[in-house]
Amino acid sequence: MRDFICVFLFVVLALGCGRREQESAGETAPPSRLPVSGSVDVRLSEEEKIEALIRALGDLPGAIFVRNGQEHTAVEAMQHLRDKWAWKKSEIHSAEDFIRVT
Protein backbone atom coordinates (compact mmCIF):
# COMPACT_ATOMS: atom_id res chain seq x y z
CA MET A 1 0.00 0.00 0.00
CA ARG A 2 2.79 2.43 0.90
CA ASP A 3 4.52 1.88 -2.47
CA PHE A 4 1.30 2.59 -4.32
CA ILE A 5 0.68 5.75 -2.31
CA CYS A 6 4.27 6.93 -2.79
CA VAL A 7 4.02 6.59 -6.57
CA PHE A 8 0.65 8.33 -6.58
CA LEU A 9 1.91 11.18 -4.43
CA PHE A 10 4.99 11.54 -6.61
CA VAL A 11 2.75 12.02 -9.64
CA VAL A 12 0.53 14.47 -7.78
CA LEU A 13 3.46 16.47 -6.46
CA ALA A 14 5.09 16.55 -9.88
CA LEU A 15 1.88 17.94 -11.35
CA GLY A 16 1.51 20.53 -8.60
CA CYS A 17 5.10 21.66 -8.09
CA GLY A 18 4.76 24.71 -10.35
CA ARG A 19 1.92 25.99 -8.19
CA ARG A 20 3.94 25.56 -5.00
CA GLU A 21 6.90 27.42 -6.54
CA GLN A 22 4.59 30.33 -7.40
CA GLU A 23 3.17 30.37 -3.87
CA SER A 24 6.62 30.30 -2.26
CA ALA A 25 7.68 33.21 -4.47
CA GLY A 26 4.75 35.20 -3.10
CA GLU A 27 2.69 34.96 -6.27
CA THR A 28 -0.94 34.02 -6.14
CA ALA A 29 -1.58 30.79 -8.02
CA PRO A 30 -4.53 30.99 -10.42
CA PRO A 31 -7.52 28.79 -9.65
CA SER A 32 -7.61 25.41 -11.34
CA ARG A 33 -9.21 25.73 -14.72
CA LEU A 34 -10.29 23.40 -17.44
CA PRO A 35 -8.97 24.59 -20.81
CA VAL A 36 -11.67 24.97 -23.41
CA SER A 37 -11.63 26.46 -26.88
CA GLY A 38 -12.19 30.19 -27.09
CA SER A 39 -11.66 32.54 -24.21
CA VAL A 40 -13.89 30.80 -21.68
CA ASP A 41 -12.37 29.18 -18.57
CA VAL A 42 -14.38 26.74 -16.51
CA ARG A 43 -13.36 26.35 -12.87
CA LEU A 44 -13.06 22.78 -11.64
CA SER A 45 -14.97 21.64 -8.58
CA GLU A 46 -13.05 19.74 -5.91
CA GLU A 47 -14.63 16.48 -7.13
CA GLU A 48 -13.48 17.23 -10.69
CA LYS A 49 -9.96 17.91 -9.41
CA ILE A 50 -9.93 14.57 -7.56
CA GLU A 51 -11.22 12.74 -10.61
CA ALA A 52 -8.55 14.44 -12.74
CA LEU A 53 -5.87 13.21 -10.33
CA ILE A 54 -7.20 9.66 -10.59
CA ARG A 55 -7.48 9.83 -14.39
CA ALA A 56 -3.86 11.06 -14.57
CA LEU A 57 -2.81 7.59 -13.43
CA GLY A 58 -4.49 6.09 -16.48
CA ASP A 59 -2.38 8.35 -18.69
CA LEU A 60 0.83 6.67 -17.55
CA PRO A 61 1.49 4.13 -20.32
CA GLY A 62 2.83 0.81 -19.06
CA ALA A 63 2.82 1.94 -15.43
CA ILE A 64 2.74 -0.77 -12.79
CA PHE A 65 1.57 0.10 -9.29
CA VAL A 66 2.67 -1.99 -6.34
CA ARG A 67 0.29 -2.35 -3.42
CA ASN A 68 0.89 -4.80 -0.57
CA GLY A 69 3.66 -6.43 -2.60
CA GLN A 70 1.40 -7.17 -5.59
CA GLU A 71 1.59 -5.48 -8.99
CA HIS A 72 -1.48 -3.73 -10.38
CA THR A 73 -2.33 -1.99 -13.63
CA ALA A 74 -3.23 1.68 -13.83
CA VAL A 75 -6.90 0.72 -14.23
CA GLU A 76 -6.75 -1.30 -11.00
CA ALA A 77 -4.98 1.55 -9.22
CA MET A 78 -7.63 4.00 -10.40
CA GLN A 79 -10.42 1.72 -9.14
CA HIS A 80 -8.66 1.30 -5.79
CA LEU A 81 -8.47 5.08 -5.36
CA ARG A 82 -12.11 5.54 -6.32
CA ASP A 83 -13.12 2.85 -3.82
CA LYS A 84 -11.03 4.48 -1.09
CA TRP A 85 -12.52 7.90 -1.99
CA ALA A 86 -16.03 6.46 -1.60
CA TRP A 87 -15.07 4.80 1.69
CA LYS A 88 -13.51 7.98 3.14
CA LYS A 89 -15.98 10.43 1.55
CA SER A 90 -16.88 12.03 4.89
CA GLU A 91 -13.20 12.99 5.43
CA ILE A 92 -12.53 14.25 1.89
CA HIS A 93 -13.76 17.74 1.01
CA SER A 94 -10.97 18.85 -1.33
CA ALA A 95 -8.26 17.48 -3.62
CA GLU A 96 -5.73 18.18 -0.87
CA ASP A 97 -7.83 16.11 1.57
CA PHE A 98 -7.93 13.31 -1.00
CA ILE A 99 -4.15 13.27 -1.24
CA ARG A 100 -3.76 13.37 2.54
CA VAL A 101 -6.38 10.72 3.33
CA THR A 102 -5.59 8.25 0.57
pLDDT in tens, 8-66: 555 554 444 434 444 444 544 455 555 555 555 568 899 999 999 999 988 888 888 99
Helix (H) or strand (E) holding 96: helix 95-101
pLDDT at 61: 80
pLDDT, tens digit (0-9, with 9 covering 90-100), for 1-10: 445 555 555 5
Evaluate if residue 98 carries a pLDDT over 60: yes
Q: Is 92 helix (H, G, I), strand (E, B) or coil?
A: coil
The upper half-sphere exposure of residue 101, i.e. CA atoms within 13 Å in the direction of its Cβ, equals 19
* Calpha distance 27→49 (Å, rounded): 21
Phi-psi region of 38 (alpha: psi -120 to 50; beta: other; left: phi over 0): left
